[in-house]
Chains A and B, each alone.
Chain A
Amino acid sequence: MSEGITVLKEPYSGEEQQRQAAMMGMYIFLSSEVMLFGGIFTVAAIMHMTHAADFVKASKAMHYWIGGINTAVLLTSSLFVALGVEAAKLGSRSTRGWLGAAAGLGVVFLGFKAYEYSVEFSEGLLPVPGVHSHFETPTQHLFMNLYLIATGLHAFHLTVGIVLMTTLALRAGTKGIGLPQRAIVVVAGGLYWHIVDIVWVFLYPVMYLAR
């Protein structure tokens, strides 16, 4: 164990018990995120069932290829986080690189998302207050409202994840975390990143690929 790193804390009787408690707490927090986005998916399901034809028409107006590229970007970022966690457990110096690369891909995702928003804005499809929009049907208006809320909320979560991964990468580099003894810190951060990825995994077929 590195000097100055206190691993075991009250009230835990052992490191394994402490690790399990950290994992349990993180899983419960992530479950609250699942319920948060679950509400949005429920609204999408109701819209799809109520106005099937118009819902599909609105989905076809989306730029599915941008969403597809962004899905690949996020899945690859999850690979980098998983490799970073693996490196952190071994106390490897490559932890910093993997986590930094994941944060970088998060920025790439946001870049593509911003470009996509700009295209939709120029097409009059982005429901921004004070801007003249032209939707073909009321359902498309509702669909784009839901799309903006869902993707905006997801982008906010991803931004938090980017800050988290950047912080972890910097602290891993300066030995501020204390790896590998406190790898659980990187593991917990990684769990958050992956749940943000999973939310997008569902948003993509629901919003972009309804046919």
Chain B
Amino acid sequence: MRLGNPIVLIWMVLMIFLAATVGASFLLTGALGAVVGLGIAIGKSAFIYWRYMHLGEERGLPRVAALGAFAWLAILLMFVTVEMLTRSQ
């Protein structure tokens, strides 16, 4: 296991992101804290998908297949959020 191996470097970045996630939870609260926490999680996932899950080595259609579910999930969350925030009391 070489330290210069990109796989190992990505693991180091992921561990820094983990520390940032915990640190941010102490510093930020409310919606901003949630956005930052989820943003870091998306960043971690992007590194894992791109290198560990070989998305960087694939071409168009496999990438769509890999990421399509996240697009559907984003649509679901968007509609749910809009519905929740516009509910009349």
A36 and chain B: residue at smallest CB distance: B69
B46 and chain A: residue at smallest CB distance: A198
Dominant secondary structure at the B interface = helix
What residues on A are CB-neighbors of B52 within 8 Å? 78, 81-82, 190, 194
Which residues from 45 to 89 on chain B have a C-beta closer than 8 Å to any C-beta of chain A?
Answer: 45, 48-49, 51-54, 58-59, 61-62, 65-66, 68-70, 72-73, 76-77, 80-81, 84-85
What residues on B are CB-neighbors of A150 within 8 Å? none
Assess whether A210 is in contact with B81, with CB atoms less than 8 Å apart: no
Judged by a CB distance under 8 angstroms, whether A201 is at the interface is: yes
Which residues from 174 to 193 on chain A have a C-beta closer than 8 Å to any C-beta of chain B?
Answer: 187, 190-191
Known contacts: A35-B72, A46-B84, A202-B38. The answer to whether A71 contacts B53 by CB under 8 A is no
Q: How many residues of B contact A (CB 8 A)?
A: 47
Q: Mark A89-124, 1 if CB is under 8 A from B, else 0.
A: 000000000000000000000000000000000000
What residues on B are CB-neighbors of A30 within 8 Å? 66, 69
- Bound form: Cα–Cα A177–B26 in Å: 47
- Bound form: Cα–Cα A141–B66 in Å: 35
What residues on B are CB-neighbors of A5 within 8 Å? none
Judged by a CB distance under 8 angstroms, whether A66 is at the interface is: no
Distance to closest chain A CB from B63 (angstroms): 8
Judged by a CB distance under 8 angstroms, whether A79 is at the interface is: yes
Assess whether A72 is in contact with B15, with CB atoms less than 8 Å apart: yes
What residues on B are CB-neighbors of A75 within 8 Å? 11, 14-15, 18, 44
What residues on A are CB-neighbors of B54 within 8 Å? 23, 187, 191
Assess whether B68 is in contact with A31, with CB atoms less than 8 Å apart: yes
Assess whether B65 is in contact with A71, with CB atoms less than 8 Å apart: no
What residues on B are CB-neighbors of A28 within 8 Å? 65
Assess whether B84 is in contact with A49, with CB atoms less than 8 Å apart: yes
Known contacts: A27-B62, A38-B69. The answer to whether A209 contacts B21 by CB under 8 A is yes
Assess whether B80 is in contact with A34, with CB atoms less than 8 Å apart: no
Contact of A68 among B18, B51, B85 (CB under 8 A): B18
What residues on B are CB-neighbors of A31 within 8 Å? 65-66, 68-69
Known contacts: A190-B52, A209-B25. The answer to whether A45 contacts B18 by CB under 8 A is no
Judged by a CB distance under 8 angstroms, whether A2 is at the interface is: no
Judged by a CB distance under 8 angstroms, whether A146 is at the interface is: no
Distance to closest chain A CB from B13 (angstroms): 10
Assess whether A64 is in contact with B22, with CB atoms less than 8 Å apart: yes
Judged by a CB distance under 8 angstroms, whether A204 is at the interface is: yes
Judged by a CB distance under 8 angstroms, whether A132 is at the interface is: no
Q: Which residues of B contact A (CB under 8 A)?
A: 1, 5, 7-8, 10-11, 14-15, 18, 21-22, 25-26, 28-30, 33-34, 37-38, 40-41, 44-45, 48-49, 51-54, 58-59, 61-62, 65-66, 68-70, 72-73, 76-77, 80-81, 84-85
